[in-house]
Amino acid sequence: MRWLIWILTLGLAAWALETAFAGGFPHQDHQAEASETQVTFNRDIAPVIFSSCASCHRPGEAAPFSLLTYEDVKKHARQIAEVTHTRNMPPWLPEPQDLKFADEMRLTAAQIDLIQKWVDQGELEGDPANRPQQPKFVEGWRLGTPDLILKAEKPLVLPPEGTDTYWNFIFRLPIQETHWVKAIEIRPGDKRFVHHANLMVDREASSRRRETTPGAGFGGMEIRIESQMFDPDSHLLFWKPGTVPYTEPEGMELRLDKGTDLILNTHLQPSGKTEVIQPSIGIYFSSHPATKLPMLLQLEDDAKLDIPAGESDFVVTDDFTLPVDVDLLAIYPHAHYLGKDIQAFATLPDGEKKTLIHISHWNLNWQAVYRYTEPVVLPKGTIVSLRYVYDNSEANPLNPNRPPARVKSGNRSSDEMCHLWLQVLPVNFDAAPGDPRMLLQEALAQHEVEKNPADFEAHYNLAAMLQAKGKLDRAMDEYQAALRLRPGDAVANNAIGSVLLAEGHPEQAGPFLEAALKARPDYFDAHYNFGNVLAAQDNFEDASTQFVLALQARPDDANTEANLGSALAEMGKISEAKGHFERALQLDPSNALAKENLAELRRTMNR
Amino acid sequence: MGRGRFVFRGCIFLAGIFFACLGCGALAQTQQTAFDLDGKPSDPLAQASSKIVVLVFLRQDCPVSSRYAPVIQKISERYQHDASFFLVYPDKTESAQRIRKYLADYGYHLPALRDPEHALVKSALAEITPEAAVFNREGKLIYHGRIDNWYVEFGRSRPAPTTHELSDAIGAAISGKPLANGGVKGVGCYISDLE
């Protein structure tokens, strides 16, 4: 007996021995010692499960079963031990690093060992007095009742089987004026079948064109949203299982205007039976407009993605030098099924290298936005780099091609991607030259053009940036470069037409706008610009036709109403003109053009 | 062991009721039997039929086994002339009513059994849901394990499976040809967690 008691005091080793001999030795003598090494649910396991698992593993949440009681956990004990050991659960991809992420879900090695030990010891419940209180969760909307709740107009019927589905729901905002938003809670429908969801701001309703039936949404893994104003989206509105709705920091509210759409891009996985998915979003307004303007920087090199079949270590890198000081707030890496090892780092001007994120076992299913607990200070001149490794060999079980095939970049899930978004806030800048985000945007666009001289969008974006800064000549060169790459493109033709009009060459602008309208007959901007081109050439009749067509594309545009009024007034159709000026003012009481013209009209009528 | 000895002794003393003894043996085993959804004891392996028997072990709270529903239903339809399929629920807390709803939700047209005492789990050497077991026409277990290799590990699945162990095993049972691998562990939820 003596040797047994002596060994027991050694803790872990003693526990193994005690179990092995459990049948043969009386235990009364050393009960006190045993309790030191005996893992129980109530004392040891419940705190881990309650804090790290229960937020998803409870009724109504994403997980397939609850983990709220001893019985719940016992029913999955070996499974929990296994998936925590392999780190499939809780889902947390980044490796430990110096720069800390908020809401980290990574279990410690000690916690994982404890679960295994509990299972090996027979999954004892233990003393009820030791059990922590079951966690309390907020029911319903986590941040309270939203100011505006929108539900997807039509649900998606997800078939019981097949490959993963990517679907985009459009939420048309029923707001009549600009609102500032401090938080948006995404409710993706049935959380069990939605792997992740991204909410994007479409300020020009450009995605609606992709719906075959209005309100039905549209398929597609990756979407591009067109915007012709310099108004970069600056917020990462993301949902994955376990996401707690994020309230933007004071001063970093998101602007939503009348006519803005929100697009929810969802990744759905068939469950074995037919599921009906109808997401909703809850919007929380703020009384303050934004005072700080963050921005999303995208590093990428999709053009380099041409991965030979069988290649197991295909490396893609991109390096971007920051033209201004920024605070890095959040990071969001993205690749598809061939992605293997994903890294981003910053090399500071003094040579110091900081790991921004490292995921050594990339898993598209658990992609996420990671927010730093503290802003990461990156001075001007810092090189931000990505390094992604892809595995297109047979050894990658997730390889969408069997046998492996050459894979390039693209929007389908069987294509590949190399993207990294960084949410940055420019700091320490001189406000005099204007919005520091323009410097970032121009540097990014320049970087794109250098990387991809044959990329239409790179040239187009650089041109748009130069145009916004008033550098019309250089903008025109870049637009022309874009148009050479895609001669019939509606957007590029429209842009060139608008530059020529702004430079005072309406007669040159006309053909470009006609080409734009040939490519896209319901293109609001091109009709509007063409109307102005015709009006500048005193062709008011055709101009008014263009404004009418523009209004068909966007019925509530105050400027177009005012312009239509002007064209009609020039044609002497005074009473018709008056009606359009009045409607313009109804749509936008501050519309200066309509006010001025209406006053002019009254003077004319009184004469 | 008391019960076993009693039965044995009875046989010695009352040689005349030999058949009753077999009955006793069976009675003793009713401690471990599966039940159909009407609550009647059911042993799919003892059914008088020369058909191949396939048991598929499922759990409602295991998402992997649910995702397999269309796959299992299709395999059962392909082999319906040669093999009898049974869905087996080893969770003793699972009610017949809930199983009926599950079958309807997931479009199953197969008989389902509750196996609260894990009688079939033991006969089939099942460890995971979903796993299948194939008994040939002679009632011999020739395969137990995963349905195919769709899942690589928990939370990671291939775009489509590249091996089809269950279909291969049924094919072997039909042709009588030997099977290379009689057991491949599945990915999913441990049945032993239900004990």
Segment A255-262 shows an average pLDDT of: 92
The number of C-beta contacts closer than 8 angstroms across A and B is 79
pLDDT at B112 over 70: yes
Pairwise CB contact (< 8 Å): A86 & B71: no
Q: Does A91 touch chain B (CB under 8 A)?
A: yes
Of all residues in chain B, the one with the smallest CA distance to A164 is: B159
Smallest Cβ–Cβ distance between B156 and the set A161, A270, A363 belongs to A363
Select from B149, B158, B193, B194 the residue whose CB has the most chain A CBs within 10 Å, as the one to mutate to test that interface: B193
Note the pLDDT of residue A171: 95
Length of chain A: 607
Pairwise CB contact (< 8 Å): B159 & A400: yes
Tally of CA atoms within 13 A in the half-sphere of A452 that contains its CB: 20
Give the range among A439-448, A534-543, B145-154 with minimum mean pLDDT: A439-448
- The minimum CA-CA distance between B74 and chain A, rounded to whole Å, is 12
N- to C-terminal Cα distance for chain A? 119
pLDDT tens profile A507-525: 999 999 999 999 999 999 9
Contact B59, B29 (CB under 8 A): no
Distance between CA atoms of A328 and A334, rounded to whole angstroms?
17
pLDDT at A280 over 60: yes
Segment A255-274 shows an average pLDDT of: 91
Pairwise CB contact (< 8 Å): B106 & A160: yes
- The minimum CA-CA distance between A527 and chain B, rounded to whole Å, is 46
Task: Please name the residue that has the structure tokens 């279909």.
Answer: B167
- Report the sign of the C-alpha dihedral through residues A134, A135, A136, A140, in that order: negative
Pairwise CB contact (< 8 Å): B63 & A82: no
Task: Please name the residue that has the structure tokens 């390889």.
Answer: A399
Q: What's the farthest any 2 CA atoms get from each other in chain B?
A: 64
3-class DSSP state of A190: coil
User: Which tokens is A154 given?
Assistant: 């039509």
pLDDT band per the 50, 70, 90 thresholds, residue B28: very low
Contact A176, A256 (CB under 8 A): no
User: Which tokens is A508 given?
Assistant: 């040159």
Contact A82, B189 (CB under 8 A): no
Q: Does A171 touch chain B (CB under 8 A)?
A: no
Q: Nearest Cα to A326, choosing from A433, A436, A466, A249?
A: A436
Cβ atoms within 10 Å of B19's Cβ, excluding its own: 8
pLDDT tens profile A47-81: 999 999 998 999 888 888 999 999 999 999 999 99
Pairwise CB contact (< 8 Å): B71 & A82: no
Task: Please name the residue that has the structure tokens 């530059």.
Answer: A499
User: Which tokens is B175 given?
Assistant: 């042709």
Q: Does A74 touch chain B (CB under 8 A)?
A: yes
Note the pLDDT of residue A10: 27
Pairwise CB contact (< 8 Å): B70 & A91: no
Q: Which amino acid is at A364?
A: L
- Predicted TM-score of the model (pTM): 0.80
Task: Name which residue leads in pLDDT, A106 or A21.
Answer: A106
Pairwise CB contact (< 8 Å): A270 & B67: yes
Smallest Cβ–Cβ distance between A273 and the set B107, B154, B158 belongs to B107
Segment A238-247 shows an average pLDDT of: 86
Note the pLDDT of residue A434: 72
Length of chain B: 195
Q: Which helix (H) or strand (E) holds A584?
A: helix A574-587
pLDDT at B18 over 60: no
pLDDT tens profile A191-214: 888 888 999 999 888 889 889 988
> Please, which residues have CB within 8 angstroms of residue A243's CB and are 6 or more apart in sequence?
A186
3-class DSSP state of A221: coil
Q: Nearest Cα to A234, choosing from A257, A260, A255, A258?
A: A255
Q: Residue A264 forms beta bridges with which residues?
A: A169, A199
Pair type for strands A261-268 and A194-202: antiparallel
> What average pLDDT does the structure give for chain B?
84
Of all residues in chain B, the one with the smallest CA distance to A122 is: B193
Q: Does A59 touch chain B (CB under 8 A)?
A: no
> Please, which residues have CB within 8 angstroms of residue A500's CB and are 6 or more apart in sequence?
A476, A506, A508, A509, A512
Q: Does A90 touch chain B (CB under 8 A)?
A: no
Distance between CA atoms of A182 and A148, rounded to whole angstroms?
12
Distance between CA atoms of B7 and A604, rounded to whole angstroms?
117
Q: Nearest Cα to A357, choosing from A266, A419, A403?
A: A419
H-assigned helices in A63-125: 70-74, 77-85, 109-120
Of all residues in chain A, the one with the smallest CA distance to B74 is: A161
pLDDT tens profile A125-161: 999 999 999 888 888 898 999 999 999 999 999 999 8
Q: Does A65 touch chain B (CB under 8 A)?
A: yes
Cβ atoms within 10 Å of A21's Cβ, excluding its own: 11
Distance between CA atoms of A19 and A2, rounded to whole angstroms?
17
**Exposed, middle or buried by CB within 10 Å (0-12, 13-18, 19+), for A156?**
buried
Smallest Cβ–Cβ distance between A79 and the set B71, B107, B189 belongs to B189
Give the range among A272-286, A458-472, A485-499, B147-161 with minimum mean pLDDT: A458-472
Pairwise CB contact (< 8 Å): A88 & B71: no
Q: What's the farthest any 2 CA atoms get from each other in chain A?
A: 119
Distance between CA atoms of B36 and B30, rounded to whole angstroms?
14
Which residues in chain A have Cβ-Cβ distances shorter than 8 Å to B107?
160, 273
User: Which tokens is A81 given?
Assistant: 């031990």
pLDDT at A261 over 50: yes
User: Which tokens is A278 given?
Assistant: 């109808």
Segment A527-553 shows an average pLDDT of: 95
Return the exposure string of A246-265: e unless at least 16 CB atoms fall within 10 Å of the residue's CB, then b.
bebeeebbbbbeebbbbbbb
Contact A197, A186 (CB under 8 A): yes
Pairwise CB contact (< 8 Å): A91 & B155: yes
Distance between CA atoms of B166 and A319, rounded to whole angstroms?
49
Please spell the DSSP secondary structure of A467-516, one letter per residue.
HHTT-HHHHHHHHHHHHHHSTT-HHHHHHHHHHHHHTT-HHHHHHHHHHH
- Report the sign of the C-alpha dihedral through residues A576, A579, A585, A586, in that order: negative
Please spell the DSSP secondary structure of chain B, one letter per residue.
-HHHHHHHHHHHHTGGGHHHHHHHHHHHHTTS-EEETTS-EE-GGGSS--SEEEEEE--TT-HHHHHTHHHHHHHHHHTTTTEEEEEEE--TT--HHHHHHHHHHTT--S-EEE-TT-HHHHHHT--EESEEEEE-TTS-EEEEE-S-S-EEETTEE-SS-S--HHHHHHHHHHH----S-SEE--SSEEGGGG-
Q: What region, left, alpha or beta, does residue B145 occupy, with left being phi > 0 and alpha being psi -120 to 50 degrees?
A: left
Which residues in chain A have Cβ-Cβ distances shorter than 8 Å to B105?
273
Note the pLDDT of residue A436: 83
- The minimum CA-CA distance between A133 and chain B, rounded to whole Å, is 24
Pairwise CB contact (< 8 Å): B106 & A74: no
Of all residues in chain B, the one with the smallest CA distance to A394 is: B162
User: Which tokens is A239 given?
Assistant: 């949902």
Note the pLDDT of residue A315: 98
N- to C-terminal Cα distance for chain B? 21
Note the pLDDT of residue A137: 85
Distance between CA atoms of A63 and A191, rounded to whole angstroms?
8
Cβ atoms within 10 Å of A102's Cβ, excluding its own: 12
Pairwise CB contact (< 8 Å): A273 & B156: no
Smallest Cβ–Cβ distance between B70 and the set A88, A91, A161 belongs to A161
Note the pLDDT of residue B156: 86
Of all residues in chain B, the one with the smallest CA distance to A364 is: B156
Which residues in chain A have Cβ-Cβ distances shorter than 8 Å to B61?
64-65, 75-76
- The minimum CA-CA distance between A87 and chain B, rounded to whole Å, is 10
Pair type for strands A148-151 and A194-202: unpaired
pLDDT tens profile A490-510: 999 999 999 999 889 999 999
Q: Does A78 touch chain B (CB under 8 A)?
A: yes
Note the pLDDT of residue A482: 94
Note the pLDDT of residue B29: 40
- The minimum CA-CA distance between B185 and chain A, rounded to whole Å, is 14
Query: Percentage of chain A surpassing pLDDT 70?
Result: 92
pLDDT tens profile B49-80: 779 999 999 999 898 999 999 999 999 999 99
- The minimum CA-CA distance between B77 and chain A, rounded to whole Å, is 16
pLDDT band per the 50, 70, 90 thresholds, residue A227: low
Smallest Cβ–Cβ distance between A88 and the set B63, B155, B189 belongs to B155
Which residues in chain A have Cβ-Cβ distances shorter than 8 Å to B68?
272
Note the pLDDT of residue B14: 32
Task: Please name the residue that has the structure tokens 């849901």.
Answer: B129
Distance between CA atoms of A593 and A605, rounded to whole angstroms?
18
pLDDT band per the 50, 70, 90 thresholds, residue A228: low
pLDDT at B36 over 90: yes
pLDDT at A370 over 90: yes
> What average pLDDT does the structure give for chain A?
88
Which residues in chain A have Cβ-Cβ distances shorter than 8 Å to B152?
397-398
Note the pLDDT of residue A193: 84
User: Which tokens is B183 given?
Assistant: 């057991």
Distance between CA atoms of A28 and A260, rounded to whole angstroms?
72
Of all residues in chain A, the one with the smallest CA distance to B151 is: A397
Q: Residue A282 forms beta bridges with which residues?
A: A149, A185
Contact A188, A138 (CB under 8 A): no
pLDDT tens profile A411-443: 777 899 999 999 999 998 877 677 788 888 889
Q: What is the DSSP letter of A297?
A: E
- The minimum CA-CA distance between A80 and chain B, rounded to whole Å, is 9
> Please, which residues have CB within 8 angstroms of residue B172's CB and are 6 or more apart in sequence?
B142, B143, B178, B179
- The minimum CA-CA distance between B24 and chain A, rounded to whole Å, is 33
Smallest Cβ–Cβ distance between A272 and the set B106, B152, B189 belongs to B106
